Amino acid sequence: MAPSGLRRPNDPPLLILVSLADGPKHGHALAKDIEGFAGVRLGPGALYGAITRLVERGLIEPLGGDDRRRPYRITPPGSAALAEALADMRRVARVGVARLGLDPA
Amino acid sequence: MRPARLLRWYPRAWRERYGEELLALIQDTVDDGRPTWRLRLGMIRGGLRERGHQAGRAAKTAAKRLAWRDRWNLFITGLVLATLPEALAVSPSRAHGWQAAAVYGVLAAVALAAAVVLASGLTALPALVRFLRAGGWPKIRRQVTWATGATAAAGGALAGLSAGLGSRSYAQLNASSTYSVGLLVAGVVVGVAIGLWTAAAVAAARQLTLAPGVRALHLVLGAVTRTAVMVMFVTLVLWWSATQSSVVLLVLALVDLAGGSVLAPARIGQAVRKGRRLRAAGGAAVVNPSAARTHGRHRA
């Protein structure tokens, strides 16, 4: 397991980090974005469970503003953890694609 | 069920931090304002998971505060209590000689420890009652709630262990790895429950203003409790050595008994001397000075 705890491509924490990689978002925007790029529909319970863990680990942080629709942004350690997890996945994907004889393009 | 009511599944601290955000997200997600069953189940699962995380963090924090000696004492106490169903079901009526003597020793040590803990609680009871009447319950509610939950889990573990005993003999139980694992798990769970009650008692004691005489008595009773745990360990190992005819366990028990015979009187003597100094210093000893400011004095 990666030191950041990000394991599978459909892990809610990983999806949240990917979503926040292009800018801060609040809960509803996160859920919509994740459904759009990954096809994964995260319920409010699962989404906020993952947000809680990521905040605790310092990988994302809340921004000021509306208490009810508070946006979150990725932190530098969060970006590093995401880059590491994506590199791991890319390595595995490259091997899989090569072994299947598929065109990596 | 309204979304706000679903938040009750989450711990209070979590609700205070994320509750409004979660409700806003549900409002944005649900079209007609009525959560679907899938959403409700997700909230319940999420709430229970948060409570689990909180319990894990509380246990880790409590464990970090404990010295290795205290963790060992809790484990031994839990293990001894977990063996009681076996002791009561199989012994002493069907045991002989050393087995029966060791079982009586275990039971006597447990009774002694329980009596000492009860006496400690009774001496602090008047101050505790005054503290609770002055509105102190919220300060210890969390610890008491966790301890109560852990006690329920410990009761379940002991009930499961008792159910697994059946009519098996010592030899059959000793040969059963399932029973051994169950015994260890039950011992840990019972130890955790006792540890959480201890944490709750310490949290309560920090809010009380105890008279020097009561504090001195608690010092001595604490030393006696640790001695009782030592006796529990020795008698438990003696019992196991008797039921398994193990010379190694017998030697281990005797070595521990020899060490304890030297350490226990010294420990109790030290507590008595410290208690005398405390009484000689006179005046009420405020364990937590802020308690006196916020709740007045709850002198025992």
Percent of chain B residues past pLDDT 70, beyond the cut = 86
In a domain, B29, yes or no: yes
The string of DSSP letters for A41-98 reads: ---HHHHHHHHHHHHHTTSEEE-SS-STT--EEE-HHHHHHHHHHHHHHHHHHHHHHH
Q: Which residue of B has its CA nearest to A32?
A: B29
Q: Are residues A45 and B28, on separate chains, in Cβ contact within 8 Å?
A: no
- Domain contains B62: no
Cross-strand partners of A93: none
Residue of A nearest to B43 (CA): A45
Confidence at residue A16, expressed as pLDDT on a 0 to 100 scale: 96
Number of residue pairs across A and B with CB atoms under 8 Å?
A: 60
Q: State whether B11 and B106 are in the same domain.
A: no
Max mean pLDDT among A72-76, B35-39, B104-108, B127-131 falls in A72-76
Residue B59: inside a domain, yes or no? no
Instruction: Establish if A75 belongs to a structural domain.
Output: yes
The torsion angle over the Cα atoms of residues B12, B14, B16 and B21, rounded to 10 degrees, is: -140
How sure is the predictor about A77, in pLDDT bands with cuts at 50, 70 and 90? Answer: very high
CATH number of the domain where residue A20 is located:
1.10.10.10
Encode pLDDT of B119-151 as tens digits: 888 888 888 888 888 888 888 888 888 889 889
Nearest to A43 among B14, B39, B53 (CB): B39
Number of domains in chain B: 2
Percent above pLDDT 90 for chain A: 62
Domain coverage including residue B35: 3-53
| Position A5 in a domain | no
Q: Does A70 touch chain B (CB under 8 A)?
A: yes
Q: Which are the contacts of B22, defined by CB distance < 8 A and separation ≥ 6?
A: A27, A44, A48, B7
Instruction: State the pLDDT confidence band at A61, using cuts at 50, 70 and 90.
Output: very high
Contact A44 B45 (CB under 8 A): no
B253 lies in a domain?
A: yes
Whether A47 has a pLDDT exceeding 90, the answer reads: yes
A46 interfaces chain B, CB cutoff of 8 Å: yes
**Same domain, residue pair B159 and B201:** yes
What's the confidence (pLDDT) of residue A72?
Answer: 95
pLDDT at A84: 93
Give yes or no: residues B101 and B39 share one domain: no
Kindly tell me if the per-residue pLDDT of A5 is higher than 90. Answer: no
- Let me know whether B139 and B18 are in one domain: no
How big, in percent rounded to 5, are the helix, strand and coil portions of chain B? 85, 0, 15
**Whether residues B46 and B156 fall in one domain:** no
Q: Distance between CA atoms of B20 and B13, rounded to whole angstroms?
A: 12
Q: Average the pLDDT over B96-113 and give the result.
A: 80
Best mutation target, A48, A55, A60, to test chain B (most B CBs within 10 A)? A48
- Reply yes or no on whether the pLDDT at B180 is more than 50: yes
Q: Which of B15, B16, B21 to mutate to test the interface with A (most CBs of A within 10 A)?
A: B21
- What band does A2 get if pLDDT is binned at 50, 70 and 90? low
SS (H, E, C) B19-54: HHHHHHHHHHHCCCCCCCHHHHHHHHHHHHHHHHHH
Total domains in the fold of chain A: 1
Give the span between the Cα atoms of B61 and B66, in whole angstroms: 9
pLDDT of B290: 42
pLDDT, position B282: 66
What domain range is A47 assigned to?
12-100
Q: Do residue B147 and residue B218 come from a single domain?
A: yes
B20: which chain A residues are within 8 Å (Cβ-Cβ)?
67-68
A44, A67, A69 member nearest B43 (Cβ): A44
Q: Is A48 on the interface with B (CB under 8 A)?
A: yes
Are both B12 and B148 inside the same structural domain?
Answer: no
Q: B93 in a domain, yes or no?
A: yes
Interface ipTM: 0.81
Residue A63: is its pLDDT beyond 80? yes
Q: Which residue has the higher pLDDT, B62 or B230?
A: B230
> Would you call B94 helix, strand, or coil by DSSP?
coil
In a domain? residue A1: no
pLDDT score for A54: 94
Q: What is the mean pLDDT of residues B66-79?
A: 77
Listed range (A1-10, B79-88, B109-118, B277-286) with the worst mean pLDDT? A1-10
Per-residue pLDDT for B286 more than 80? no
Mean pLDDT of B86-111: 72
pLDDT, mean of residues B166-191: 80
Residue A19 lies in a domain: yes
For B5, the token pair is 């009511």
Which residue, chain included where needed, has tokens 């997600």?
Answer: B29
Residue A45 lies in a domain: yes
Cβ contact A27–B25 (<8 Å): yes
Look at residue A12 in the predicted model and tell me its pLDDT.
Answer: 92
Cβ–Cβ below 8 Å for A44 and B20: no
